[in-house]
Amino acid sequence: MIQTPLYKRFAASLDKLLVDEGMHATTQAVMHGLTVALSGGVDSVVLLHLCRHYVQAHTHLALQAIYVDHGLSPNSAQWRAFCQAQCDALTVDFTPASVTVVAQNRQSLEAQARTARYQALDEHAYPHHALVLGQHADDQVETFLLRLKRGSGLKGLGAMHARTALPSGRVCLRPLLTSQRADIEAFAQTFGISHIEDESNLSDRFDRNFLRNQVLPLLKSRFSGFVPSVMRSVELLQGQQALLDEITQADLAYCLNENSLCIERLGEFSLLRQQNLVRAWLAEQDVQMPSHKQLEQILEQALNARADAQMAVTLPQGQVRRFRGALYWVIEQPKWRESHDIGQTAVVLDDTHVLQVQQGKGVRLPAPDEHISVRFNCLSEKIKPLGRSGRNTLKHWLKDYGVPTWERSRVPLIYYNDELVQVVGFFVNEAYASSQGLNWKLEDARNKKDR
């Protein structure tokens, strides 16, 4: 078995993927073993056998297999038993998992099942194991054609990568991407490897099945070497995307200031690079990509509106706002409630924010007839900050301190009766300042950063 061309291609691919894994420090280290996604189909069962021989030659690696029951077929219990028997025969750790796939609007059943499957695989795989998936060259061509049908761009047409990472950091490896379905089926036949047939694969109502059953056979019979040719195109597209990613990261580094995007520097680029840069910046915020029209609005308002104009381009998850020459991604936050007679105790504002009070430099202690309260959004209140000249509105001072307009309503304001004595995180009222008094701080439990 290990002398076959299929195993040699598989082993060479997996060798390279595992060596390359040492270059990706942000993902879980692949040190302990491999976890095969086992459906019982020919691709995954052959993959199981290949991995079993691979770990025999690499004794530091353990091997696990996971079967995920989507609850969509009446035969799933039989398939689970089949996968269990395969693993028992090969002395491979077997883990069954079940998921519930609920039909949702605007998302195909295939996509929902895929999302649930990856979550289950990630949850049940052993720590520091890579997920090993059975997608092959024909699957890659199907993915390419599906994305071509949707009008995908460069990144989408690059289809599946041999190595990806889940949101948790767990790495996924696809060592069969360079092998065709016919090679895998021939391997199974040669070595008498049994497998199950999923009846849903015969239904052409699913786009991928239609391509697999009707379109690809025609293309392969008409055009010699069709699959390898598409694979070469995909490889070129992935390489071009990698180059574009390098340029994009350089552009981001040039324009980024913490989480904001410098408009002046953005304006130095061509329109195509501006569009690419804004998309990349939003992607880093985990934002759903804007439409072409929304992207035009963002760039038009950012680059051509008056410097003091209020900009707000609304997307489904939030807004792109502008302040002092920079673009910000803003997610609407719930309003905090006022609290009265808080004394000198901590005030819980929400699940992550707590207003704490400490003794020391700040405002003087309250008189017996002064009640302490915390309020918000009193922007017309007038105050004279310690060490600053003149008395002006809170709106004026917050603008002077560089607080963006959308953050001003969430700045905690400490009152003694009806007198504003501290703007938390910024300044105290000069008339109430004291070196031996009270000082309020806003604590964020998510990053332990005080303000």
pLDDT digits (tens, 9 = 90+) for 138-185: 999 999 999 999 898 899 999 999 999 998 999 999 999 999 999 999
Would you say residue 2 has pLDDT above 90?
A: no
Residue 447 binned pLDDT confidence (cut-offs 50, 70, 90): low
What is the pLDDT of the chain when averaged over all its residues? 91
Would you say residue 105 has pLDDT above 90?
A: no
pLDDT value of position 80 = 94
CA distance 205 to 188: 28
CA distance 2 to 6: 8
Beta carbons of 276 and 244 less than 8 angstroms apart: yes
Buried b (16+ CB within 10 A) or exposed e, 241-269: beeeeeebeebeeebbeeebbebebbeee
Would you say residue 29 has pLDDT above 80?
A: no
pLDDT value of position 25 = 46
CA distance 193 to 42: 8
Beta carbons of 38 and 51 less than 8 angstroms apart: no
Would you say residue 449 has pLDDT above 70?
A: no
pTM score: 0.74
Please, where in the chain does CATH 1.20.59.20 lie?
237-330
Beta carbons of 129 and 171 less than 8 angstroms apart: no
> What average pLDDT score do residues 192-196 get?
94
pLDDT value of position 33 = 93
Fold of the CATH domain 5-19+29-220? Rossmann fold (3.40.50)
The residue to which tokens 């309260």 are assigned: 373
**Beta pairing partners, 320:** 313, 329
Options 3.40.50.1980, 1.20.59.20, 3.40.50.1470, 3.40.50.300; CATH of 237-330: 1.20.59.20
Would you say residue 27 has pLDDT above 50?
A: no
Percent above pLDDT 70 for the chain = 95
Would you say residue 136 has pLDDT above 90?
A: yes
Would you say residue 295 has pLDDT above 90?
A: yes
Four-residue CA torsion sign, 121, 122, 124, 126 = positive
Beta carbons of 397 and 414 less than 8 angstroms apart: no
Sheet holding 93-98, edge to edge: 93-98, 62-69, 33-37, 129-132, 171-173, 163-165
Q: Who contacts 316 (Cβ-Cβ below 8 Å, separation ≥6)? A: 288
pLDDT value of position 103 = 67
Token output for 302: 């950012």
> What average pLDDT score do residues 365-377 get?
95
> What average pLDDT score do residues 115-126 get?
93
Least confidently predicted of 51-55, 74-78, 124-128: 74-78
Q: What angle do CA 369, 371, 377 make, to 5 degrees?
A: 145
Please, where in the chain does CATH 3.40.50.620 lie?
5-19+29-220
